[in-house]
Every structure is written in structure tokens, then in C-alpha cells.
Amino acid sequence: MPLIEFAEVTHAFGDGPAVLEDVTVSLHERRIGIIGGNGSGKSTFVRMINGLVVPEAGTVRVDGDSTANQARRIRRKVGFCFTNPDSQIVMPTVAEDVAFGLRRLKISKTEVQERVAAILETYGLKQLADRPAHTLSGGQKQLLALASVVVTEPEVLILDEPTTLLDLSNERRIRREIEQLDLQVILVTHHLHLLDGFDRTLVFHQGRLVADDHPDQARTTYRALI
Ligand SMILES: Nc1ncnc2c1ncn2[C@@H]1O[C@H](COP(=O)(O)OP(=O)(O)OP(=O)(O)O)[C@@H](O)[C@H]1O
Ligand SMILES: [Mg+2]
């Protein structure tokens, strides 16, 4: 698994208060959960892993590369799925959107089509392949956003609340898919049961990393905080 290292990371946006303070942690497990209250710094933390946010103080490294100057290289390794799928869907149709992520992989048209078809099938989107992406429901868009990232075969997959809009059946589908993925997964979620079987869970509270533990203990710590 890739090694993600935060060293003495502190960050504020503009003149605002610190939203992350003095975070030092190394992550190399296969399944890592991130929990904490609204505004506690979870999204900021995971955005730092692929250089979407560069810390004001301290460093973030992925396999030794710093996000401050190697973000391009890191982004080839680290796939990111946003909470709001609209911020990530870029192409007119569902199939085109999935294919878009494959453009830099220098593979044949036939292989692109095969990979797109396979992933749409897996995520239950096959019937929607030629639909304009903006006409999908919120949950369908969330599935599409995830499919479009997974199809690029990243080494690390960051999921920032990927199930907020999903019904029970699709939440189960995503959970099953996440379980089967042979890569490092970092999952930010308020759905605490999704962390069953995870290797490790971090708890953020008011910008600080307050617990780093087995999911069961971490969930107990989080519940005690609120
Ligand atoms: N681009 C930004 N500009 C200014 N402030 C920001 C920005 N992004 C986040 N913040 C602030 O940083 C703090 C932490 O936000 P963050 O999105 O990391 O929280 P979170 O733990 O992901 O919360 P939630 O559970 O609601 O998604 C919040 O107070 C938020 O208002
Ligand atoms: Mg968030």
C-alpha cells in the first residue's frame, strides 16, 4: 500500500481560524476511515492527500513525494471522489464521462469501450450509458462519479462521503464494491457502520486529530464527543 505522511500540518483558509492544527500521522493500511463532526476538518484533511489543498505549515507526502511540488504525479496515484458528484461529472453522457478518465492511459479505443462497459455494469449504470449525465438522479450521479474514478485504477481511492445520496440497495452495492477493491481506500463518512472491518479509523474534532484507533474504539470516542 502507498505511504501517506502528514508532518506537523497546520492550515487556515485566508485570514480565518486554523481548520487543521498540528496533524502528524502516517497512513499505510488498506482500509482507513475518517470520522468527526461537521466542520471538524475531514474534507480538508483528505483534500491535502492529493494536493487539492496545500498546507500553510508542515508537509504532506505520498510515497515520499510532497504535495507542494509533485501534485501531478501524486494525482495519477490518488483517485478522489467528491461528496457532490456534480463537481466531478464533466462529460455530456454517462459513458463519455467514464471514458474521460481513461484518456491519459494510452489504451486503444476498443479497450476503453470494454473497460467503460464493464464498470457501468458493475455499478448498475449499464442502462444509463447514453443518458445525458445531468439528467441522472443524485444517487445515480454519485455512482457515476465513483465509477469514473475507479475505472482509472488508482492506487489510493479517497471517498469523501460517497453514500450520502444513496438508497439502501445502492449503499450496499457501494459497500460491496469498496470491500472488493484491491487498493488503499480512505473513506470519510457519517455512516459509521460502513467502517466495519476497516483496519484503522481517525477521529477529527475542531481541527485536531483526537483519536486514531480500531473502528470500534474510534466510533466510541466520536460518540462521546457529541
Ligand atoms: N475553501 C474554503 N475556504 C474557507 N473555509 C473553508 C474552506 N474549506 C473548508 N473551510 C472551513 O474549514 C473548516 C473545516 O471544513 P471541512 O470541509 O474540512 O470539514 P468536514 O469535517 O469535512 O465537515 P463536513 O462533515 O460538514 O463535511 C470549516 O469551518 C469550513 O468552513
Ligand atoms: Mg466534508
Residue closest via CA to ligand 1's atom 24 equals 38
Whether 40 is in the pocket of ligand 1, judged by its Cβ within 6 Å, is yes
Q: How many CB atoms lie within 10 A of CB 94?
A: 28
| Ligand 1 touching residue 39 (CB < 6 A) | yes
pLDDT at 178: 86
The angle subtended at Cα 17 by Cα 75 and Cα 159, nearest 5°, is: 30
Residue nearest to atom 13 of ligand 1 (CA): 39
Domains identified in the chain and CATH numbers: 4-225 (3.40.50.300)
d(Cα 95, Cα 113) in Å, to the nearest integer? 9
Per-residue pLDDT at 96 exceeds 90 = yes
**Per-residue burial over 96-133, b = 16 or more CB atoms within 10 Å of its CB, e = otherwise:** ebbbbbbeeeeeeeeebeebbeebbebbebeebeebeb
pLDDT in tens, 157-186: 999 998 888 899 889 888 888 888 999 999
Identify the residue whose cell numbers are 505520498: 62
Between 226 and 155, residue with greater pLDDT: 155
List pLDDT tens digits, range 204-216: 999 999 999 999 9
pLDDT band, residue 131 (cuts 50/70/90): very high
pLDDT band at 105 (very low <50, low <70, confident <90, very high): confident
The pair phi, psi for residue 202, each rounded to 5°, is -100, 140
Of 11, 19, 225, the residue with max ligand 1 atoms within 8 A of its CB, to mutate for a pocket test, comes to: 19
Give the C-alpha separation, 30 to 215, whole Å.
Answer: 13
d(CA 82, ligand 2 centre) in Å: 9
Mean pLDDT, the chain, rounded, equals 94
215 Cβ below 6 A of ligand 1: no
- Would the CB of 78 count as within 6 Å of ligand 1? no
Pocket of ligand 1 contains residue 17 by CB under 6 Å: no
**Beta pairing class for 200-205 and 31-36:** parallel
Which residue has the least CA distance to atom 2 on ligand 1? Answer: 13
Ligand 1 near 11 CB (within 6 A): no
Using alpha carbons, list the distances in angstroms from residue 122 to 80, 116, 178: 19, 10, 12
Per-residue pLDDT tens for 12-34?
Answer: 999 999 999 999 999 999 999 99
